[in-house]
């Protein structure tokens, strides 16, 4: 009966209410070394609904080259996770940012 109730709620178009913005963390794949290619990882976790847009910037300018991301990964609580990756070569003074909307 519990399963039936949960399925009925979903079927009626009543998914869980929107949550706070996702948990976002940016970290390098490998230890940073200047002039050595690396990958930045932007972990976007526990968001709902599943509409999310991830963009990268370098020194406040949009970056699209070297960007890739995973498909949405679903959690048991109807929230989602995804990861975005940016390949880059760190240089002194550069500032990278992962923006999630």
DSSP state at residue 59: T
Q: Which pLDDT tens digit goes with each residue over 35-93? A: 999 999 999 999 988 889 999 999 999 999 999 999 999 999 889 999 999 999 999 99
Query: Mapping DSSP to helix (H, G, I), strand (E, B) and coil, where does residue 54 land?
Result: strand
Flag whether pLDDT at 16 surpasses 50: yes
Q: In this predicted model, which residue has the larger pLDDT, 93 or 7?
A: 93
Helix or strand (DSSP H, E) at 58: strand 54-58
Tell me the pLDDT band of 21, cut-offs 50, 70 and 90. confident
Mark out the alpha helices in the chain (DSSP H runs).
Answer: 2-11
Two structure tokens written together for 87? 């390949």
Query: Mapping DSSP to helix (H, G, I), strand (E, B) and coil, where does residue 6 land?
Result: helix
pLDDT confidence of residue 50: 86
Q: Among 33, 37, 97, 88, which residue's Cα sits nearest to residue 66?
A: 88
Q: Which pLDDT tens digit goes with each residue over 78-101? A: 899 999 999 999 999 999 999 999
The mean pLDDT value for 17-39 works out to 89
How are the residues of the chain apportioned to helix, strand and coil, as percentages rounded to the nearest 5? Answer: 10, 45, 50
| Cβ neighbour number for residue 18 with a 10 Å cutoff | 9
């Amino acid at each position: 009966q519990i399963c039936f109730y949960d399925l009925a709620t979903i079927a009626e178009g009543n998914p869980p209410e929107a949550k706070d913005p996702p948990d976002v963390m940016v970290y390098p794949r490998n230890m940073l070394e200047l002039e050595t290619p690396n990958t930045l990882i932007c972990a976007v976790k526990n968001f709902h609904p599943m509409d999310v847009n991830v963009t990268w910037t370098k020194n406040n300018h949009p970056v699209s080259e070297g960007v890739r991301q995973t498909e949405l990964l679903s959690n048991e609580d109807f929230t989602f996770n995804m990861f975005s990756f940016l390949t880059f070569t760190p240089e002194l003074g550069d500032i990278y940012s992962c923006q999630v909307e």
